[in-house]
């Protein structure tokens, strides 16, 4: 009885409490991830989830040039929404369309490329894939990340 009272009171104080309990677990995404290949370094860091929010950042560098992306995954309307803001542009939403124990897929069919963003774990690796269309042609890019930061990458020749 006491447990029921605590649950009811928590929903009155914070209406999102019941919703947050039903969201797919994305804790497997958290951490520092890196990809070092052919002179390109891609780092992605995810903080959270806490309070219905994950915060991410991506930094990619190759041949002396760099690009970045501000990322967040926020609880909204019974699911997660992935927000991507490349190079300081306005964030674009992608709603979760698939979730598994260690997999999440987000989509925004109105956004040409990418229209879908997928993350999944294979053992200690994190994989990411974006897909959509570029000039009416299907396109996809996939990354395989290991745990760690750019400091863990071997020096470029």
pLDDT tens string 73-108: 999 878 999 999 999 999 999 999 999 999 999 999
For residue 6, is it within any domain? yes
99-157, pLDDT tens digit by residue?
A: 999 999 999 999 999 999 999 999 999 999 999 999 999 999 999 999 999 999 988 66
Residue-range definition of the domain harbouring residue 14: 2-149
Express each pLDDT in 12-60 by its tens digit.
Answer: 444 444 444 589 999 999 999 999 999 999 999 999 999 999 999 999 9
Answer yes or no: is 157 within a domain: no
What per-residue confidence (pLDDT) applies to 157? 62
Q: 2 pLDDT exceeds 50?
A: no
| Count: domains in the chain | 1
Residue 23 covered by a domain: yes
**92-100 and 103-107 beta bridge pairing:** antiparallel
Residue 102 placed within a domain? yes
Tell whether 129 is covered by a domain: yes
CATH number for position 35: 2.40.128.20
């Amino acid at each position: 009885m006491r447990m029921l009272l605590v649950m009811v009171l928590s929903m009155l104080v914070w209406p999102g409490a019941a919703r947050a309990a039903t969201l797919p677990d994305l804790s497997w995404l958290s951490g520092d991830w890196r990809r070092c290949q052919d002179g390109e370094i891609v780092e992605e860091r995810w903080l959270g989830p806490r309070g219905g929010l994950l915060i991410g950042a991506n930094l990619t560098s190759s041949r002396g040039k760099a690009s970045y992306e501000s990322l967040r995954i926020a609880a909204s309307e019974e699911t997660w929404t992935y927000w991507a803001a490349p190079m300081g542009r306005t964030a674009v939403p992608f709603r979760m369309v698939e979730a598994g124990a260690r997999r999440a897929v987000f989509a925004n069919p109105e956004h040409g490329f990418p229209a879908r963003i997928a993350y999944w774990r294979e053992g200690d690796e994190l994989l990411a894939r974006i897909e959509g269309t570029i000039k009416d042609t299907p396109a996809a890019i996939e990354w395989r990340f290991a745990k760690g930061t750019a400091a863990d990458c071997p020096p470029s020749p």
